[in-house]
Chains A and B, each alone.
Chain A
């Protein structure tokens, strides 16, 4: 099927900015917070509203399109990515940050067609960082082209790393083990609290690599395109090809740096999306 991707892109840019505006208006006011899978996995009414805004507007514009959205994906139901044009949406990536007023909060939206990423948007409305990419057209921050760093020396690399929003003891053990392994070997480790922002930082060249387990398709679908269009690589953390439903990813400025990380990090395999 042929999609008017230019139209899709124009529409989603406007909608992402609208969603971002809601986030910016509310980040420093009272919120009602609910727990999802555990006491550090949160959702607010803003998450739900931004997702509704995006999905309802996209549905009315593009009636044949499918959706994989964080808040509308019922717990326990498996996600399915078909060849249909599919919007993969995290309305508020970094909900813990949003709850605290901490500025690393992003709208993350991607359009995949025939299981290929065509459009990726990561928008942090608090810091006014609008990352975007179209397949084959490069990656941009606020309209200016961006490129990953050139750092292939692990000892000089800055790594994006998260402690996560899971209290699963097995996962936490791997998280601390990897921290122990990495810290003596790299230049530094940075935790922003937003997976999408972590990937965008690699695309920008502000960090050199980033990996995480346990995140979801909606956290990484846009970052995948933005990093690759910025000249970087996105793979499975064990070295194989990236799988957007696997809940695992490793992105880096180069295959060389990615391979160095693959040989040293411990693995964790969450249940697939």
Chain B
């Protein structure tokens, strides 16, 4: 079946911009908060509202398209399954912790996958009015200006974005702390944003050289990974293998050399945990 990707893009861009108004309206107000998967992962009434609007409006225009969306997925307690059908992969509010605190790094992240390949990525932060976009083969843009990933190849000259506060999840704590410490000792600086989508956009813009996180879902990274690649950057599995957005592991860098250096650094950091456990055990 032939797909008019440009038409899909233009239509959903407008829908996303409109949905962004809901985030803007909500950020300063008191919200009801339910907890899901522990206190670090929140759902708010705005999350659901944004997702419902996106799915409803896209379904009106493209009734045959499918969805993998964060809140719907949580309610149905389903494991997301990606098929060949055109599928919109949606995180209605990425950076929900930031959102509930009124911290300005929060966004809608929406990607379109066709035949299991992501061809559209849109990330919109309505608080700072930053619209990051990519269509496969057409480059990456911020507010319609072309953006390019950094060409820096050495970690000692790099700014690295991490989600170090994910260390509150017991199964991830040791790995995150060791990898963070390893980066702190070498890198120019570490930045913790609290939004995977926006951190990927910073790599695509070239203002940070790398972003890494293990433990996220496909809707957190699908759009951002395309935007990084279209900006000339590289996206891998954090073990160094091929990136699979369903795998929960991502390492995005401006250059291959930097990615290779970080993969080795992470392996050494993880090995030091095993050593400690053996010595203690």
Interface residues of A (CB under 8 A from B): 39-40, 96-97, 99-103, 127, 149, 155-156, 158, 161, 163, 165, 167, 172, 175-176, 179-180, 183-184, 186-193, 201, 204-208
Contact = CB atoms under 8 A, between A and B. Distances in A.
Given A100-B188, A175-B184, A187-B40, A206 B103 contact: yes
Contacts of A204: 102
A271 B206 CA distance: 36
Contacts of A156: 39
Given A39-B156, A183-B173, A205 B102 contact: yes
A207 B184 contact: no
Interface residues of B, number: 36
A190 B194 contact: yes
B263 interface: no
Interface in B156-196: 156, 159, 164-165, 167-168, 170, 173, 177, 180-181, 184-185, 188-194
A189 B192 contact: yes
B207 A183 contact: no
Given A183-B168, A187-B97, A172 B207 contact: no
Given A184-B167, A193-B189, 14 more contacts: A40-B189, A96-B189, A156-B39, A176-B177, A176-B184, A180-B167, A180-B177, A183-B167, A183-B168, A184-B168, A190-B103, A206-B98, A206-B103, A207-B103
Contacts of B206: 101
A32 to B, nearest CB: 15
B128 A149 contact: no
A208 B102 CA distance: 10
Contacts of B190: 163, 191
A208 B167 CA distance: 19
B208 A102 contact: yes
B102 A191 contact: no
Contacts of B170: 184
B245 to A, nearest CB: 24
Most chain-B CB neighbours within 10 Å: which of A101, A127, A188? Answer: A188
Contacts of A180: 167, 177
18 contacts: A97-B159, A100-B207, A100-B209, A101-B205, A102-B191, A102-B202, A158-B97, A163-B190, A179-B180, A180-B177, A183-B177, A184-B167, A184-B168, A189-B164, A190-B192, A190-B193, A191-B191, A193-B191
Contact of B188 (A40, A187, A201): A40
B148 to A, nearest CB: 11
B49 interface: no
B105 to A, nearest CB: 8
B65 interface: no
A172 B188 contact: no
Contact of A188 (B97, B185, B188): B97
B255 to A, nearest CB: 14
B248 interface: no
Nearest first, the 9 A-B pairs at minimum CB distance are A189-B165, A206-B103, A183-B167, A191-B192, A102-B207, A101-B207, A188-B165, A158-B101, A163-B190
A207 to B, nearest CB: 6
Nearest to B193: A190
Interface in B35-91: 39-40
Contacts of A96: 159, 188-189
Contacts of A102: 159, 191, 202, 207-208
Contacts of A184: 167-168, 170, 173
